[in-house]
Amino acid sequence: MIIRPRPRGWQLLYILRGSIVPAIAPKVLVIGGLSVLACLVAGNWHPAGGAGLAVVPFTLLGLVLSIFLSFRNSACHDRWWEGRRLWGQLLFETRSLARLSASVLPDAQALRQRQGHLLIAFAHALAARLRQGDDWLAAQPWLGSEDADLQAHHNLPDALLQRLGLALAGPLHDGRLSPILYAQVEQRLQALSSVQAGCERIATTPLPFAYTLLLHRCAWLFCLLLPFALASALGWATPLLAMLLAYAFFGLDQLGEEMEDPFGLQPNDLPIAALVRMLEIDQLAALGQRPLPEPLQAQGYLLQ
């Protein structure tokens, strides 16, 4: 995620780090070069080409394309926003579980430490799973030798929640925890499982490919043909206008593509690693451990 102050004044014209320009610059430059060619064709090199293409169809196509891009970006933003909400809920539920355990099991320090480490391992494993990484490698530093059998589990985050449930059921069987209080603990575990399912739903169900492909094709066709429609009327102002329109259409398309998978590693994706570190700090602080890890900071305005 890009973290930087809102640009003001002339900064709007030259800020590159954190903008979408580096990702779409090659496409915009291609349109600029094609616009120069269109001006040459419409001018001295091919006077007969001065008639060019009709502008009216491009006006209608541009309107339709902008509506389609708006719909797609809205759907992608909804996915990004839901991912943000789910990880916020993950922080809330883990903090609530740590606070509840400290209240109802104040003397079970070993169990509370086990719980905190399993929660941290769950967050690391879930983040790695959403980013197509090695979930076992991410969670292993927070697991004990008794958890070695989990390495072969096909869904490590779910297995960690199951193991956490078994660990917290021990005081229930021993009579140290009443069924009513355990029901509250189980509600927190169910909420964590719901967060995992929501994140997996986003990660495994992208927008329909045919819809995305249609928008890509239409955007390219519009931007490739537009210079030949404008060259005869605008002359050498065509490259500027064509590149501005290409910046708008390709920029919206690229933003939608980045937000479609909010758990990735692109600049506008969610800072999952920073959220996992925040959860880690909260759980270790609840256990009274010191010193605590430092929160992750943005590097070059990019917080991962």
- pLDDT per residue as tens, the chain (304 positions): 777 667 676 666 667 676 778 888 899 999 999 988 888 887 655 444 444 556 667 777 777 777 888 888 888 999 999 999 999 999 999 999 999 888 888 777 888 899 999 999 999 999 999 999 999 999 999 998 888 888 888 999 999 999 998 888 888 888 777 888 888 888 999 999 999 999 999 999 988 888 888 888 888 888 888 888 888 778 888 889 889 888 888 888 888 888 889 998 888 888 999 999 999 999 999 988 889 889 888 787 777 7
pLDDT of residue 274: 93
CA dist 99 to 182, 225, 264, 283, Å?
14, 62, 31, 10
For residue 31, give the H/E element and its range.
helix 21-42
Q: Which pair of tokens denotes residue 258?
A: 């980045």
Q: Which of 303, 206, 184 is nearest to 259 (CA)?
A: 206
Residue type, 49: G
CA angle 263, 266, 272 (to 5 degrees): 35
CA separation for the pair 91, 93 (Å, rounded)? 6
Q: Are 215 and 113 in contact (CB under 8 A)?
A: no
Q: Are 286 and 106 in contact (CB under 8 A)?
A: no
pLDDT of residue 203: 92
Residue type, 46: H
pLDDT of residue 78: 93
Burial (0-12, 13-18, 19+ Cβ within 10 Å), 174:
exposed
CA angle 115, 119, 122 (to 5 degrees): 140
pLDDT of residue 170: 83
Q: Are 222 and 31 in contact (CB under 8 A)?
A: no
pLDDT of residue 176: 79
pTM of the model: 0.86
